[in-house]
Chain A
């Protein structure tokens, strides 16, 4: 959509809401993508850190 006239925000970004509640489930510990997830979680890495390794 086109920016309405007079719309301003600090650094052009405005957070309005929050993500609604999540449900706790368990991921099936299977497959290459899970193993990558487990690696990130165990080493407390973020996606971008993981990408660089």
Chain B
């Protein structure tokens, strides 16, 4: 790495969440490393706390939620660049409350040695948080970090980005680019050395601490386009914690006749320990809960197993699956169109979340989460890994280059409405088999190449390029002869098993539609293969190149299908 003389840029990836933030960097070998701060945490709580003028950050600040809640600022990311009226301060009930300021939210905290409250704006708080992240990264890397790629949710507005850029600048960080959290997660998976690029529909389920975001992404040859998004602020990791809190609180009431949820300090302790229990239940099947002096000096210890937790949290897990299904519907797709589901965010560690997604979607769709896939990456690190990869890709670029490349003029592209492919087996569209070469939702210009088998006997072959659509075929298999009912009537109400009603079989099938072109390839050898290359230009014109595989001499056959717009000059 050669540092530029005028300004050497050291860029990292930052994932800035409401609950946790993380930092990552890509080293010279191209490996991405998620950096731990001086407390050894890779998931650093996005919290700041002040005790007699001293600033605490991350986990240390989080512990202050019990003793020093009013001087602890937490869950503030979504307040950045927002009008005070439009923010939801609910998550801050256990910490410093946001107040209306002239420019969005402010916090009244005692952050100096004097015993007086100071009003700090959301941008000041953000700057301090980013500064601490920057320090941790600089300490680890041994050089001053001065630039970053930061991940943001898909519904983060330009105003919020501007405000964040200003806060980052105050902290001495140049924001090279904002990238969307779900896209960052997909990039983290696609950047693995063993990953193969393919055309796929990816659903990213990002379950955070206080919000859940589902994003449907078309991944086409490494280009990502967002088809639909869904956000839910009512179901997230906090609800999983709440379920555990209620469970333990009830147990405590049974023993001691007082509700620890009514005491602020007890509630804070209960909350912290419930989160720890939740994390423990993602790894083990049993976890113990213990808080010293929960209420009025009473220590409380208890245990819970994973099954019990899955039972009390089931409605939340189910609603996350429903949110994912509704996002797929919003994208105009069928669950069968989904190629894979990526679980992201800290609460994705909960095994039941991934399994409930797995059962909500058709069988065979991989759910990339620790519980359902041995090769999955750590869901907490996905966003920051993607950001670090992007940072390494663009850190050498001039700022102007980055701005120009991310300009809407560049990112806006026509996406194909229907798939384009080859009709094989039969020349008739109704009985032929459609094989897609370029899938729908692929941005143009695009080039795809495939090899197809020709009729065994060889000879002259007709190659038809068609448009096709994928359809869902619903078929009901012939009802199986029912097992004879037993004489004694079973009282159990779970009669409506899958055995009783023949289940509908839904499958995805391709249907060829408009024929775009016909071409004849003459004198094809026996058992030979034909290489078909489609170049779809930005004006939707298609250039078809046909060539017999292994036929070095022949130039093959080239044909053009006119686009709806004026034809582009092609260099051949």
Given the interface contacts A29-B411, A46-B571, does A22 sit within 8 Å of B540 by beta carbon?
Answer: yes
Contact B393 A35 (CB under 8 A): yes
A38 → chain B, closest Cβ, in Å? Answer: 4
Given the interface contacts A3-B461, A22-B444, does A17 sit within 8 Å of B516 by beta carbon?
Answer: yes
Contact B224 A28 (CB under 8 A): yes
Which residue of chain B is the closest to A1 with respect to CB atoms? B427
Scan B503-540; emit 1 where CB is below 8 A from any A CB, else 0: 00000000000111111111000000000000110001
Whether, in the assembled complex, A53 has its beta carbon less than 8 Å from a beta carbon of chain B, the answer is no
Contact B416 A19 (CB under 8 A): yes
Scan B434-476; emit 1 where CB is below 8 A from any A CB, else 0: 0000000101110100000001000111101001000000000
Given the interface contacts A1-B426, A2-B455, does A16 sit within 8 Å of B445 by beta carbon?
Answer: no
A23–B515 alpha-carbon span in the complex (Å): 20
Contact A30 B224 (CB under 8 A): yes
Q: Which of B75-83, B156-164, B182-190 contacts A (4 or more CB under 8 A)?
A: B182-190
For A25, give its contact among B225, B418, B562 (CB under 8 Å).
B225
Among residues 393 to 427 in chain B, which have CB atoms less than 8 Å away from a CB atom of chain A?
Answer: 393-394, 404-406, 408, 410-418, 420, 423-427
Q: A residues within 8 A CB of B542?
A: 19
Q: B residues within 8 A CB of A4?
A: 427, 462
Given the interface contacts A17-B516, A30-B183, does A24 sit within 8 Å of B405 by beta carbon?
Answer: no
Q: Which of A4, A24, A38, A40 has the most CB of B within 10 A?
A: A38
Interface residues of B (CB under 8 A from A): 177, 179-180, 183-184, 187, 190-191, 197, 217, 221-227, 386, 389-390, 393-394, 404-406, 408, 410-418, 420, 423-427, 432, 441, 443-445, 447, 455, 459-462, 464, 467, 514-522, 535-536, 540-542, 544, 557-564, 570-572
Scan A1-25; emit 1 where CB is below 8 A from any B CB, else 0: 1111001010111111111111111
Contact A15 B394 (CB under 8 A): no
Q: A residues within 8 A CB of B225?
A: 25-28
Contact A14 B519 (CB under 8 A): yes
Contact B190 A12 (CB under 8 A): no
Contact B559 A17 (CB under 8 A): no
For A29, give its contact among B410, B514, B570 (CB under 8 Å).
B410
Contact B416 A22 (CB under 8 A): yes
A38–B410 alpha-carbon span in the complex (Å): 6
5 contacts between A and B (CB under 8 A): A3-B520, A19-B420, A25-B225, A33-B197, A33-B223
Contact B535 A47 (CB under 8 A): yes
B442 → chain A, closest Cβ, in Å? Answer: 9
Given the interface contacts A1-B424, A17-B515, does A37 sit within 8 Å of B564 by beta carbon?
Answer: no
Q: A residues within 8 A CB of B413?
A: 24-27
Q: A residues within 8 A CB of B517?
A: 13-17
Q: B residues within 8 A CB of A37?
A: 223, 410, 443
Q: B residues within 8 A CB of A12?
A: 519-522, 557
A53–B557 alpha-carbon span in the complex (Å): 25
Which residue of chain A is the closest to B218 with respect to CB atoms? A25
Q: B residues within 8 A CB of A32?
A: 222, 393
Given the interface contacts A2-B461, A19-B564, A47-B535, does A30 sit within 8 Å of B179 by beta carbon?
Answer: yes
A50–B427 alpha-carbon span in the complex (Å): 36
Which residue of chain B is the closest to A34 with respect to CB atoms? B223
Known: A29-B405, A31-B191, A34-B223; 11 extra A-B contacts, CB below 8 A, are A12-B520, A12-B521, A13-B519, A17-B514, A26-B411, A28-B217, A28-B226, A30-B183, A31-B393, A33-B223, A48-B571
What are the 9 tightest A-B residue pairs by CB atom distance, in nearest-first order? A33-B222, A13-B559, A22-B414, A3-B460, A38-B405, A29-B406, A1-B427, A26-B411, A28-B224
Q: Which of A27, A28, A47 has the most CB of B within 10 A?
A: A28
A6–B225 alpha-carbon span in the complex (Å): 45
B413 → chain A, closest Cβ, in Å? Answer: 6
Which residue of chain A is the closest to B460 with respect to CB atoms? A3
B31 → chain A, closest Cβ, in Å? Answer: 16
Q: A residues within 8 A CB of B564?
A: 18-19, 21
Q: A residues within 8 A CB of B540?
A: 18-19, 22
For B561, give its contact among A11, A18, A27 (CB under 8 Å).
A18
Q: B residues within 8 A CB of A40?
A: 445
A22–B439 alpha-carbon span in the complex (Å): 12
Contact A16 B516 (CB under 8 A): yes
Q: A residues within 8 A CB of B222?
A: 31-34
A31–B443 alpha-carbon span in the complex (Å): 15
Contact B386 A30 (CB under 8 A): yes
Contact A23 B464 (CB under 8 A): no
A11–B467 alpha-carbon span in the complex (Å): 22
Which residue of chain A is the closest to B428 with respect to CB atoms? A1
Contact A30 B516 (CB under 8 A): no
